[in-house]
Amino acid sequence: MKNRSLKIILGTILTSILIIFTSCQQVPNSKTVTIRTGHSTWIEESFQTNIVNIGLEKLGYKVEEPKQIEYTALYISIANGDLEYSTVYYQPAHKKFFEKAGGEEKLKKIGILTPDGIAGYQIDKKTADKYKITNVEQLKNPEIAELFDWDKDGKANLVGCNPGWACELTIDHQIKAYGLENTVEHNRGQYNILLVDAITRYKQGQPILYFAYNPHWISAILKPGKDVVWLEVPFISLLDMTNITEKDTLLDGKNIGFSKTQQSIVANKKFLESNPVAKRWFELVEIPVADMNAESLRIKEGENKPEDILRHAQEWVKNNQKKYDNWLEIARQAAN
Together in a domain, 11 and 123: no
Together in a domain, 179 and 122: yes
Together in a domain, 272 and 224: no
- Which of the four pLDDT bands, split at 50, 70 and 90, describes residue 89? very high
Top pLDDT among 336 and 119 is at 119
- CA-to-CA dists, residue 87 to 114, 126, 282, 328, angstroms: 10, 37, 9, 18
Given the DSSP bridges, would you call strands 250-251 and 85-91 parallel, antiparallel or unpaired? unpaired
pTM, rounded to two decimals = 0.72
Q: How far apart (Å, rounded) are the C-alpha atoms in residues 146 and 127?
A: 12
For 128-149, what is each residue's pLDDT tens digit? Answer: 999 999 999 999 999 999 999 9
Q: How far apart (Å, rounded) are the C-alpha atoms in residues 208 and 73?
A: 34
Q: Which of 240, 261, 282 is the last residue of a domain?
A: 261
Domain extent at residue 193 = 117-261
Together in a domain, 24 and 82: yes
Together in a domain, 6 and 49: yes
For 178-213, what is each residue's pLDDT tens digit? Answer: 999 999 999 999 898 999 999 999 999 999 999 998
Together in a domain, 121 and 137: yes
Q: What pLDDT, on a 0 to 100 scale, did the predictor assign at position 31?
A: 52
Together in a domain, 253 and 321: no
CB 268 within 8 A of CB 78: yes
pLDDT at 29 over 60: no
pLDDT at 10 over 60: no
Share of the chain above pLDDT 70, in %: 91
Q: What pLDDT, on a 0 to 100 scale, did the predictor assign at position 233?
A: 97
Q: Which of 201, 233, 261 is the last residue of a domain?
A: 261
pLDDT at 289 over 80: yes
Q: What pLDDT, on a 0 to 100 scale, did the predictor assign at position 41?
A: 83
Q: Concatenated DSSP letters for 227-240? A: TEEEPB-SS---S-
Task: Average the pLDDT over 251-257 and give the result.
Answer: 90
pLDDT at 165 over 90: no
Q: Which of 209, 230, 261 is the last residue of a domain?
A: 261
Domain count along the chain: 2
For residue 33, what is the DSSP state? P
Together in a domain, 271 and 323: yes
Together in a domain, 291 and 178: no
Length of the chain: 336
What CATH number does the domain containing 326 carry? 3.40.190.10
Q: What pLDDT, on a 0 to 100 scale, did the predictor assign at position 329?
A: 97
Give the range among 100-109, 147-156, 214-223 with minimum mean pLDDT: 214-223
Together in a domain, 10 and 67: yes
pLDDT, mean over the chain? 89
What CATH number does the domain containing 128 carry? 3.40.190.100
pLDDT at 102 over 90: yes
Together in a domain, 27 and 87: yes
Together in a domain, 257 and 271: no
